[in-house]
Amino acid sequence: MGIDVLADPKGQLKRRLVGISLGVATVGTAWLLSQNPDATESVYAAKIAPWIASNLSKLSGRIPFSIGEVLIGLFVLRQVVGVFRGCLSLRKPDHGLLKLLGKGSLRFLSDAGVLITMFYLFWGFNYFRPPILERLAWEESDITVAELSILGKDAVAATNLAYVKLHGSPDLGISTPDPDNTLFLEEAIDEGFRRASTLLGEPRGVFREFGRAKPLFVSSALHYLGLSGFYFPWTGEAGYNRTVPAVDLPQVMAHEKAHQRGFARENEANFMGFVVCVKSPDPLAQYSAALFAQQQILSALAQEDVQQYIEIVADRCPGVTRDIEDRRKYWKAFENKGSKVARSVNMAARTAAVRVNDAYLKSQKVEGGVRSYTKSLYLIVAYLTRNGPASYPWLLGANGLPGSP
Ligand SMILES: [Zn+2]
């Protein structure tokens, strides 16, 4: 069997071994970079990654639909065809099961090696950058209930005002509709990225020009899975679920575009999504950002002081309350659509998360002050406390103070 596999008339074995070697070398490089975050930042994240992702996304951006979705489909097809052909070859007298398994394993490992190499080289090494808190030199400190309460009130006021700015009244009578043109929205988000670049002092390359975000064909399936989009590093495409409520759309697009710009960790992409939307000139993006911040802050406050939470949410204007309720129904729908097994897995995951959080808080002997419930909440709170009244530029303008972009 060994000799049969090694007899390599078409150079197939050689190609397989190259793929496997690439994979092994990439895993080794990933380990090295994970031990050297500063080198990863100054060489890979500042220069190599933005250059690759920017050019790749501009190239794939010439095609109006998501190439990533097509590639996923083709990849699945290739695996199915491979298994099918393998089964057929079993009927030939000189093709034993062992030989088939050997060839199949080599093929799989080689495919995996090439895909892993492209994943890390094009984008994945960004995971080994120092965390954004470190990059910004922001000290980590506790969040108190009093802080949550003040920031929650500010966020509610900012959300209300953004809503009125968007619709011209505190109650539109219907849910906030989808934007007429997502291209305009995206241009406004891109402007938010440009403004955030000077604010956050990230490497310049991170904020260069990238290809457009793309609505995904499988959006309904993503809704069922509770996903709002995904970044596809092999093509540099930021794909978003086009069925999400309008109030979530800017934040979702900005989140995926943040991934595209090298913010690999989820909490950092959430945070960047918030910052660029809040900095964007588009009222829907500003509304989306303020709503995102208020929900993060108030859900943490609700776990600490329900009474304060109830008092603060009572100040929401009717249109905002409707949007939040409709949004809740949208995301709730996917939980109810799944099979019994899927629903119980979902419930089990949620229960486990609550228990872990509870144990964590107890282990930290938290009294009065609360640690962040999610890391993106922590980053948003850190940003808001540092920027004070300038956090929501449109609020400054409303108070007669100069608004800063
Ligand atoms: Zn993400």
Q: How far is the CA of 253 from the centre of ligand 1 (A)?
A: 10
Q: How far is the CA of 269 from the centre of ligand 1 (A)?
A: 6
Under 8 Å between Cβ of 189 and 282:
yes
Under 8 Å between Cβ of 333 and 223:
yes
Do residue 57 and residue 202 come from a single domain?
no
Do residue 148 and residue 233 come from a single domain?
yes
Q: How far is the CA of 266 from the centre of ligand 1 (A)?
A: 5
Q: How far is the CA of 2 from the centre of ligand 1 (A)?
A: 44
Q: How far is the CA of 54 from the centre of ligand 1 (A)?
A: 18
pLDDT 10s digits, 218-275: 777 777 777 788 899 999 999 999 889 999 999 999 999 999 999 999 899 999 999 9
Q: How far is the CA of 292 from the centre of ligand 1 (A)?
A: 15
Domain edge (last residue) among 79, 114, 130: 130
pTM of the model: 0.83
Do residue 146 and residue 101 come from a single domain?
no
Residue 342 pLDDT: 56
Under 8 Å between Cβ of 113 and 21:
yes
Q: How far is the CA of 36 from the centre of ligand 1 (A)?
A: 24
Residue 337 pLDDT: 56
Q: How far is the CA of 251 from the centre of ligand 1 (A)?
A: 11
Under 8 Å between Cβ of 128 and 195:
no
Q: How far is the CA of 24 from the centre of ligand 1 (A)?
A: 26
Backbone angles phi, psi at 75, to 5 degrees: -65, -45
Residues of the chain with pLDDT under 70: 1-9, 93-95, 334-374, 397-405
Do residue 13 and residue 159 come from a single domain?
no
pLDDT 10s digits, 149-204: 999 999 999 999 999 999 999 999 999 999 999 999 999 999 999 888 877 777 77
Domain edge (last residue) among 107, 130, 153: 130
How do strand 214-215 and strand 237-240 relate by DSSP bridges? parallel
The domain in which residue 282 lies consists of: 133-398
Helix (H, G, I), strand (E, B) or coil at 370: strand
CA distances to 66, 180, 316, 345 from 234, in Å: 12, 30, 42, 31
Q: How far is the CA of 385 from the centre of ligand 1 (A)?
A: 25
Our count of domains for the chain comes to 2
Do residue 321 and residue 363 come from a single domain?
yes
Residue 294 pLDDT: 95
Q: How far is the CA of 263 from the centre of ligand 1 (A)?
A: 9
Do residue 173 and residue 215 come from a single domain?
yes
Do residue 250 and residue 194 come from a single domain?
yes
Helix (H, G, I), strand (E, B) or coil at 47: helix
Q: How far is the CA of 50 from the centre of ligand 1 (A)?
A: 18
